[in-house]
Copies of this chain bind each other. A is one copy, B any other.
């Protein structure tokens, strides 16, 4: 039986989510994995939030590996639903892999958005007075460290401005991520929960 990769990301919010999901699942199949694609607001799992939540949790419980589209979503961090799922699968001890179309660090992205201020001691803060982590990571340390501690990596392919909303860069980063997973994880490496 093929190992199952949970395909987390804000892709579920795309108008053509189902097609994007099938495309990613096909890429998984070509490398001998089964891709589990979550759904949001899809007729197949029912129209209410509770049904969608339970369907996604049920899929996550079947997963052997997690893959996460960490491309910044409506702010400097990854999509909140995706990050929730990262915490869930980390707690279950699964190997986790991330990919993103942002190659800059979190701090660089805040600075580029004009949201970074520096106090007299050189400590960076945002306009709300909250410190900005100075570890040079691509997102909040809990996200990046969880992936690294689980044995995974984050791949990044830079987004070119003017690209379509269905990010080609994130797709290429996913492909690179999947390649690393297939090189590293063989069926015997993963114990089922």
Contact = CB atoms under 8 A, between A and B. Distances in A.
Copies of this protein in the complex: 2
Interface residues of A, number: 57
Interface string A76-98: 11111101111111111000000
Given A74-B126, A115-B74, A79 B140 contact: yes
A41 to B, nearest CB: 7
A74 B81 CA distance: 16
A34 interface: no
Find the residue from A48, A54, A137, A145 having the highest chain B CB count within 10 A: A145
A50 interface: yes
A117 to B, nearest CB: 12
Interface in A144-159: 144-146, 148-149
Contact of A56 (B49, B86, B132, B142): B142
A52 interface: yes
B129 A165 contact: yes
Interface string A29-45: 00000000000110000
